[in-house]
Amino acid sequence: MWELSLFNTVKEIAMKKRVMVLAVSVSVVLSAGLTYGLTYSKYKREIEFGKKNADLLTAYEDIKNNFYKIVDDETLCEYMIKGVLDACDEEYCYFKTSNMMDENRVNGASSVSRSGFGVDKNRHDEIVVTSVEPDSRADEMGLKVNDVITMIDGETIAEKGGYYKAIRKLMGKDSTTMKLHIRRGTEELDIDFTRYNVISDSEKSFYSEIMEGDILYIHFLHFDQNSTISFEEALNENEFKSVILDLRNNHGGEVPYTAEIFDYFAEAGSKVTLKHERSGKEEIYSTSTDGNEIDCGVAVLVNEKTISSGEILAAFFKDTGRGTLIGEKTYGKGIFQVQNMLESMLTYTYTAGYLYVNDMPNYDEVGVYPDIEVIMDESKILTPDDIQLEKAIEILS
């Protein structure tokens, strides 16, 4: 009997061990599954992206591990983001690395752009002159396209910290001089380059004056908070009988300020609506009844370089009949962009939808037509030959 009892005892222990092993196994599986589930939930976006873009990851790893030079992760990431925006195939969709922003800032600086030249880097990270405007300061000083700037003020590009740091030295105050060492083919030469940085009235972001006949002339080159403040000061500090708003060559700016400016000329009811195509969201900026409306004649000057927010303000006047549009058909940009900032503090911009002024049809790729067409070369703006301005003065007189 004791043998049978021992057998049953051993069998019972074995069964308990099997149950214990099974329970432990189930616990491990459940724990692993839970961990995977939590991990997948946390990194679902990254995992799904990896599945959909296996080729991109393969190329990234191949370049990262096998390219003959070391490319840091930050640079690779920046250019992958740039590729996403390039795929939109639209000039208003873009991502700029910090180096690209530096280069744009230099080429757009008054001391460079008004001197009449532009630069880029070649495959050796040298500064190459990419453009020289005829009869400009750069032309007068002897710069030529494809000139390679190898030294600035006696220091090589490498000594100045590389291309992107060196090009900043091209900027400076008007009439200051920098010494450029140039390589032109097999020839080496030095140029004492005197910068030109004089801003004409037509190039100022905001310019105003009282013209004959008590006409307040106001020229906007773009719209931001400062231009709105300057506009209010011009209204408050001058006595006038009529207003000319010059929106020629206006390259846009922030949409809300266009409604704020038009608010001085119209009562409540006018609005610009930004319709986000994918989300269906709408942003509306409108005029209000605040008692500050100006009761006077208004002429608005426009041309083919009146774009974006400049067109919105022109459309306000066109649709309401509050002012007379004079000049040429505007550019025709009836879409708007959204700018987002990444954790790295870099930004990217893309087109989000169409905009509408009151009940006007969208004018994208169409433009806003003037009430009175006057064709004129933009180089004559604010010169004695400015026939568009002459027509505006005639209408208001």
How do residues 97-141 score in pLDDT, each as one tens digit? 777 777 777 777 766 778 888 999 888 888 999 999 999 889 999
| Average pLDDT score over residue span 77-90 | 89
What is the H or E stretch that residue 232 is in?
Answer: helix 225-237
What's the pLDDT at 28?
53
The β-bridge partners of 240 are none
Cα distances (angstroms) measured from residue 265 to each of 12, 96, 210, 295:
96, 38, 18, 7
pLDDT digits (tens, 9 = 90+) for 172-227: 888 899 999 999 999 999 999 998 877 777 777 899 999 999 999 999 999 998 88
6 or 255: which leads in pLDDT: 255
Cα distances (angstroms) measured from residue 65 to each of 26, 55, 70, 76:
41, 15, 8, 12
- 3-state SS assignment for residue 396: helix
What's the pLDDT at 172?
84
What's the pLDDT at 13?
47
What's the pLDDT at 271?
96
Give percent of the chain with pLDDT exceeding 70. Answer: 89
pLDDT digits (tens, 9 = 90+) for 252-309: 999 999 999 999 999 889 999 999 999 999 999 999 877 678 899 999 999 999 999 9
CA atoms of 225 and 43, how far apart (whole Å) = 41
What's the pLDDT at 7?
42
How, if at all, do strands 155-156 and 148-152 pair? antiparallel
Give percent of the chain with pLDDT exceeding 90. Answer: 56
What is the amino acid identity at position 390? E
What's the pLDDT at 342?
87
> pLDDT at residue 54 above 70?
yes
At residue 317 the predicted structure's pLDDT band, cuts being 50, 70 and 90, is: very high
CA atoms of 165 and 326, how far apart (whole Å) = 45
Cα distances (angstroms) measured from residue 277 to each of 88, 197, 341:
15, 43, 21
CA atoms of 382 and 126, how far apart (whole Å) = 39
At residue 95 the predicted structure's pLDDT band, cuts being 50, 70 and 90, is: confident
**Quick count: other Cβ atoms within 10 Å of Cβ 10?**
10
The β-bridge partners of 299 are 244, 324
Give the chain's mean pLDDT. Answer: 87
CA atoms of 130 and 136, how far apart (whole Å) = 14
What is the H or E stretch that residue 252 is in?
Answer: none
What's the pLDDT at 17?
53
> pLDDT at residue 6 above 70?
no
| Average pLDDT score over residue span 304-316 | 97
The token pair at 70 is 């070391």
Q: Contact 173/179 with Cβ under 8 angstroms?
A: no
What's the pLDDT at 30?
53
> pLDDT at residue 373 above 60?
yes
| Average pLDDT score over residue span 324-338 | 97
CA atoms of 163 and 124, how far apart (whole Å) = 10
- Residue count of the chain: 397
pLDDT digits (tens, 9 = 90+) for 140-185: 999 999 999 999 999 998 888 888 888 888 888 888 999 999 999 9
